[in-house]
């Protein structure tokens, strides 16, 4: 059951190879990603995977989850932060800390669900990253941009059409 467009909100046109976030489901869906997903911080790959999955939820940009085995976990440390999702459960956050002491520290750069709720087992032992907190987030050969707003972790590419929650005026979506 997808959300309906709020009054006065007009969906962007969808062209070939594009998806409307308003066609994404509620509750969300997890699906495999055919493209290579990469995350770059301090000029070096932090994550690189051809085994990622994405979570799609009405009005939001896709959130990409990479298997922990495809993430340089030595550059991440647990953060003192958790949030709750009604669909996925409790998320634990991680901070970026360059073990060589050369790079910068980035608070709450990503998150994971250690024990996701039923239906979301596919994201167990996977990491998601905020595109706005990393230097580069890549879906295939396209550099993604962050979903609008400070809370959401979706990655926006030319494939994704909105309007996407997080833009001004979308607080009630």
For the cut 60, the answer to whether the pLDDT of residue 72 exceeds it is: yes
Residue 131 CB burial class (10 angstroms; 0-12, 13-18, ≥19): buried
Sheet holding 105-112, edge to edge: 29-32, 53-56, 63-67, 126-129, 105-112, 89-97, 76-85
Instruction: Please check whether residue 107 is in contact with residue 130, taking contact to mean a CB–CB distance below 8 angstroms.
Output: no
Q: How far apart are CA 22 and CA 13, in angstroms?
A: 11
**What pLDDT score was predicted for residue 151?**
81
Phi, then psi, of 50 in degrees rounded to 5: -110, 15
Q: Is the dihedral of CA 79, 125, 88, 130 positive or negative?
A: positive
Pairing of strands 105-112, 89-97: antiparallel
CATH topology assigned to domain 19-161: 2.170.150
- Above 90 in pLDDT, residue 23? yes
For the chain, domain boundaries: 19-161
For residue 3, what pLDDT band results from cuts at 50, 70 and 90? low
In the prediction, which pLDDT does 134 show?
A: 98
- Using one digit for the tens of pLDDT, what is the confidence trace for 90-120? 999 999 998 888 778 999 999 999 999 999 9
What's the distance, Cα to Cα, between the start and end of the chain in Å? 14
């Amino acid at each position: 059951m997808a959300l309906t467009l709020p009054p006065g909100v007009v969906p962007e046109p969808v062209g070939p190879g594009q998806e409307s976030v308003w066609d994404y489901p509620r509750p969300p869906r997890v699906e495999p990603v055919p493209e290579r997903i990469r995350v770059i911080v301090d000029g070096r790959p932090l994550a690189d995977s051809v085994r990622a999955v994405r979570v799609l939820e009405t009005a939001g940009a896709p959130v990409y989850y990479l298997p922990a085995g495809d993430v340089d976990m030595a550059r991440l440390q647990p953060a003192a932060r958790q949030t709750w999702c009604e669909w996925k459960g409790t998320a634990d956050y991680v901070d970026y800390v360059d073990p060589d002491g050369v790079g910068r520290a980035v608070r709450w750069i990503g998150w994971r669900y250690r024990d996701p709720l039923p239906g979301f087992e596919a994201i167990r032992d996977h990491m998601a990253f905020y595109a706005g907190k990393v230097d580069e987030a890549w879906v295939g050969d396209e550099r993604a941009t962050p979903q609008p707003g400070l809370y959401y972790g979706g990655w926006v590419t030319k494939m994704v059409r909105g309007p996407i929650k997080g833009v001004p005026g979308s607080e009630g979506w």
